[in-house]
């Protein structure tokens, strides 16, 4: 639904009333009113929902153009203050609510709706639950896109913020991550909007490394950032790992289940996932045969993230290099079969052992 139209707050309110009305049976009565602006503890809009048996509830809406992730806590407190009577339901409404904002509102137990059709409203009495999906981007936004965690600058900044437990100046972050100055500023601007970092006295600090990890993993799955090829090592995975430990003359980093067992063993690995600088060079040196039907080796050649997967590797007990825990967890969350569950298991270990993998 791309459009050049610019919605006013009044138009947002009209769309939201229609969205709610259209999602209720015709036997329900829906009335609404826009509240005059008289103090901060008044809703911008209220919508009354009356069931056929006469029971009613009132939605009290705080209406914005856009809500940033970093503003959710403040807006949540504000909208709850205006819903002080029994039967009042606080609702955050906007022209557009991003995925991260919707997730944060839902986690906080708040109802929400935006003008594109993203809606989640729950009422206890009369019992109502409305849920629907709208747009995943703001169709009315002008100018430069608001950003994601895709691409090399984002990967460099995200990995530095995850791998190291410290506060950063921009200069320090650029030096540690290898990101360009412009790229680092753009990524930090996006992370600050999303509430993933906070800035205090010119220093940036991660607010929640787990949410940052999940956001980066979601935006930059290895399937989209690497060239992937499947192979067979006839003598098995252990024989292959011995080759990686002894014969590599190029950058390599084992990821996936085999790497994860260094910290949190979940289940025996069926295949080895390995980042390499060149699939052709690695497959030739290690004597691998292409095999898409039943592979036990998957080689990953970075295309859009530079050398990020090779940063902060460490030797496993078998001598082969393993990727950093944050990289391994992100890859597992995007893997096939049971690998996302392994990723969750590794993240639980990371939460319990933060001092063992995050550097000072």
Cα torsion 308, 314, 316, 317 to 10°: value is 170
- pTM, two decimals, is 0.76
Residue closest to 83 by CA, chosen among 35, 153, 129, 147: 35
**Of residues 74 and 232, more confidently modeled:** 232
Do 254 and 322 contact (CB within 8 A), yes or no? yes
Quote the percentage of the chain above a pLDDT of 70: 95
- Segment 225-237, tens digit of pLDDT: 999 999 999 999 9
| Domains of the chain from N-terminus onward | 9-132 (3.40.1350), 152-219 (1.10.10.10), 222-357 (no CATH)
Out of 6-15, 108-117, 221-230, 312-321, least confident range: 6-15
- Segment 152-162, tens digit of pLDDT: 999 999 999 99
Statement: residue 145 has pLDDT above 80: no
Residue closest to 213 by CA, chosen among 285, 157, 142: 157
Mean pLDDT score, 255-275: 94
Statement: residue 146 has pLDDT above 70: no
**Of residues 7 and 176, more confidently modeled:** 176
Element (H, E) at 216: helix 209-219
Mean pLDDT score, 8-27: 93
Exposure b/e, 265-288, CB count within 10 A at least 16 = b: ebeebebbbbbbbebeebbebbeb
Q: What are the E-state strand segments in the chain?
A: 29-34, 45-50, 56-66, 88-96, 111-114, 119-123, 128-132, 197-200, 203-206, 226-232, 252-255, 272-276, 289-290, 297-302, 314-315, 321-322
pLDDT of residue 201: 92
The neighbour count for residue 26, using CB atoms within 10 Å, is 6
pLDDT of residue 247: 77
């Amino acid at each position: 639904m791309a459009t050049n139209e610019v919605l006013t707050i009044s138009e947002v309110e009209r769309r939201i009333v229609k969205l709610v009305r259209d999602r209720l049976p015709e036997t329900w009565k829906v009335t609404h009113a826009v509240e005059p602006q008289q103090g901060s503890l008044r809703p911008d809009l209220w919508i009354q929902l009356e069931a056929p048996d006469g029971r009613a509830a009132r939605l009290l809406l705080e209406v914005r153009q856009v809500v940033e992730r970093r503003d959710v806590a403040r807006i949540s407190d504000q909208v709850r203050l205006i819903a002080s009577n029994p039967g009042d339901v606080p609702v955050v409404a906007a022209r557009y609510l991003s995925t991260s904002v919707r997730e944060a509102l839902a986690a906080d137990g708040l109802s929400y709706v935006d003008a594109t059709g993203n809606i989640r409203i729950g009422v206890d009495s009369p019992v109502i639950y409305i849920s629907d999906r709208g747009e995943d981007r703001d169709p009315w936004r002008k100018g430069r896109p608001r950003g994601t965690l895709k691409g090399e600058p984002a990967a460099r900044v995200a990995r530095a913020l995850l791998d190291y437990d410290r506060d950063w100046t921009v200069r320090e972050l650029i030096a540690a991550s290898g990101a360009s100055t412009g790229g680092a500023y753009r990524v930090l601007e996006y992370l600050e909007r999303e509430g993933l970092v906070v800035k205090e006295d010119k220093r940036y600090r991660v607010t929640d490394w787990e949410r940052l990890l999940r956001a980066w993993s979601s935006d930059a799955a290895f399937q989209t950032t690497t060239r992937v090829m499947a192979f067979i090592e006839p003598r098995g995975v252990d024989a292959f790992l011995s080759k990686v430990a002894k014969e590599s003359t190029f950058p390599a980093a084992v990821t996936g289940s085999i790497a994860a067992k260094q910290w949190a063993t979940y289940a025996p690995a069926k295949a080895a996932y390995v980042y390499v600088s060149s699939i052709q060079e690695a497959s030739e040196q290690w004597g691998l045969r292409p095999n898409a039907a039943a592979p036990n080796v998957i080689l990953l050649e970075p295309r859009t993230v530079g050398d990020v997967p090779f940063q902060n590797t460490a030797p496993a007990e078998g001598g082969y290099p393993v990727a950093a825990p944050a990289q391994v967890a992100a890859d597992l969350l995007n893997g096939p079969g049971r690998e996302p569950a392994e990723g969750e298991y590794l993240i639980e270990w990371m939460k319990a052992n933060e001092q063992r993998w995050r550097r000072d």
